[in-house]
Chains A and B, each alone.
Chain A
Amino acid sequence: MISSLKKYYEIEKKRDTLFKTHIEKEELLKTIDFITINSNFMTLSQIACADWIEDEVFTLNYILTTDRRDKNLMIEVNIPRVDSKLPTLLNIFPQSEVMERDLHEMYGIDFIGNSTLYDFVLEDWKEIPPLRREFDTLEYVNKHFNFRIGREDNRDVKVEIKRRRAEAKRLKNANK
């Protein structure tokens, strides 16, 4: 089955039961239709997204499984980080509705054709989508929350070691 797909796509074998291929975003719907009809990879297991800010892309992986659930195929698509859009898979797989809602809220990706892209987990969220790399959680926490008092006597150990060594040297020189 994999050998028949290799005639049309470049498929890399990552492990015994895990395969990967890379396609352009314009061919996404056509590829998924073709693979689900002409091979055993008929279920969508997960839509995973990673943010590569240094290359200015989001990398989405559509992970398909066979009907015997013994092999997985990762279909990788790169989309730009600004104005990210992709067609929805709602008509092929009903389970993609909630996965796309999750990615829309966390990354800000717009899935064209999916009308259920409202709040999934966060309520009344006014900042940028939180899983993007430019969202700094430490800065958000420092702006919105107060830390408890009582821990101000923390010392930096490296500074203390230098200070004590300098002190010991000064005492030794003074004694000479």
Chain B
Amino acid sequence: MQTNRELIKIFHGPQHPGITGNMSVELDLLGETIKEAKTHVGYLHRGFEKLIERRTIIQAFTIVCRICVPEPDPNEENFARAIENLAGIEISQKAKYIRTMVLEMARLASLMLWMGGQSGSIGLGTIGQWSIYDRDLILDLFEELTGGRVYHMYIYPGGVRRELPIGFLDKLSQLLDHLEKRLPLYDNVFFENSTFKKRAIGVGVVNKDEALKNGYVGQVLRGCGIKRDVRRDNPYLVYDNLDFEIPTFEGCDVYARAMVRRQEIRESIKILRQIVEQMPTDGKIMQKIPKHRKFKIPKDDTFVSVESARGEYGFYMAGDGSEKIRRMQVKGPSLIHGFTLLEKLLIDEELSNVALIMNSLGICPPEIER
């Protein structure tokens, strides 16, 4: 008897508990094996690049942070640095240290959110409850520093917006002590869990030889043993004064990327402790910049990038001599990972591994379609 098996088409998303945002993958299935995958985005398009063209620089600074939802601060830093490059503004050492501190705290918060997502995708709901609580403590500190929990609007072209509150650095040290005490718990239940190892080892294997040419960034490269990080290769702010390691892991699969992120949490805590010790006590936090309708940038263009929790995040910016920006183009790490890499990795995979691979690559739909 011959069974007639034909391909079934399903949409994985845009509403699915294992997905890191709103995007869908159109899958052609033969039984439970995927034969073809196509990514669809467009559920979160808010049109930031067109909105910026009608607003002056200071007005545009307030909406730039909303481009990426889990980690808004790299957007603000890129925007501020591009404006400072074009307008020729130098910021003080104290402002640089405060900005580095904010970026590292945002990286920790984003990695906590990743842990909840990755463990949820294999069915381990407990880790999500714990890591969201730890992230909440980081957001409490942000609330005290900047006035808002998720969208800070704090890194301003010219410096930062507010002074550090009194006793803030002590509270930060206490939080880092608390986080270090919680890390063995995550190790016992998640990273050393034999179920996770069985699900993750050998799944989502990236081809190491073409990884650099195809433009992959972040943990996808570091999980293949290739040590690349913007903070070390093309340093910005005060990263060349700080002592930290770039973790790598061989294996190129989901497990290797999870191990890299586990080590990055520890490195971030180490960097924050050094910043607390080295923070300058005097210095201006904000340079004098013109009023908002008189702040003009010359006709020139530039490209800046930072290392976010998911990889290299780049901005291209062009000014035209007026008080409005001519063009700001955003390129997040998920643009390449979400299309080229995901469609390649999903071929011949099981249906239940789709959410696992998407969380492991760190795909964040808001930054693909801004």
Contact surface of A with B, Cβ cutoff 8 Å: 14-15, 17-18, 42-46, 48-52, 59, 61, 63, 67-72, 74, 93-95, 97-99, 106, 119-123, 130-131, 135, 137-138
Contact = CB atoms under 8 A, between A and B. Distances in A.
A44 B45 CA distance: 24
16 contacts: A14-B302, A15-B85, A42-B213, A48-B303, A50-B318, A61-B301, A63-B303, A68-B228, A74-B303, A94-B214, A95-B336, A98-B335, A121-B369, A122-B42, A130-B50, A137-B54
B212 interface: yes
A141 B329 CA distance: 23
A121 B45 contact: yes
Contacts of B302: 14-15, 18
Contacts of A106: 49
A13 to B, nearest CB: 13
B233 interface: yes
Contact of B233 (A50, A68, A123): A68
Interface in B296-313: 301-303, 312
B213 A48 contact: no
B214 A67 contact: no
A15 B340 CA distance: 31
A70 B234 contact: yes
Given A45-B314, A48-B316, A48-B329, A123 B212 contact: no
A72 B215 CA distance: 13
Contacts of A71: 234
Nearest to A103: B329
B215 A69 contact: no
Contacts of B54: 137-138
Nearest to B336: A95
Contact of B316 (A52, A61, A95, A123): A61
B339 A98 contact: yes
Nearest to B320: A52
A71 B214 CA distance: 17
A117 B281 CA distance: 54
In the complex, the 7 A-B pairs of residues with the closest C-beta atoms, listed nearest first: A48-B316, A50-B327, A98-B339, A46-B331, A95-B215, A121-B42, A70-B233
Contacts of A59: 318
Contacts of A68: 228, 233
Contacts of A48: 303, 316, 327, 329, 331
Contact of B329 (A18, A46, A123): A46
B124 interface: no
B47 interface: yes
Contacts of B318: 50, 59
B301 A50 contact: yes
A46 B303 contact: yes
B41 interface: yes
Contacts of A17: 234
A18 B234 CA distance: 10
Contacts of A61: 301, 303, 316
Interface string B222-252: 0000001010011000000000000000000
B326 interface: yes
B340 A122 contact: no
A87 B45 CA distance: 28
Contact of A94 (B42, B212, B340): B340
Given A15-B85, A121-B369, A130 B47 contact: yes
Nearest to B217: A69
A98 B213 CA distance: 16
Given A18-B303, A46-B316, A49-B329, A93 B215 contact: yes
Contacts of B369: 120-121
Contacts of A49: 327, 329
A63 B316 contact: yes
Interface string B21-40: 00000000000000000000
A124 B326 CA distance: 27
Nearest to B39: A98
Given A42-B212, A43-B215, 14 more contacts: A42-B213, A45-B312, A46-B314, A46-B316, A48-B316, A48-B327, A49-B329, A61-B316, A69-B228, A69-B312, A97-B339, A99-B335, A120-B42, A121-B42
A95 B211 CA distance: 11
Interface string B158-199: 000000000000000000000000000000000000000000
A69 B42 contact: no
Nearest to B327: A50
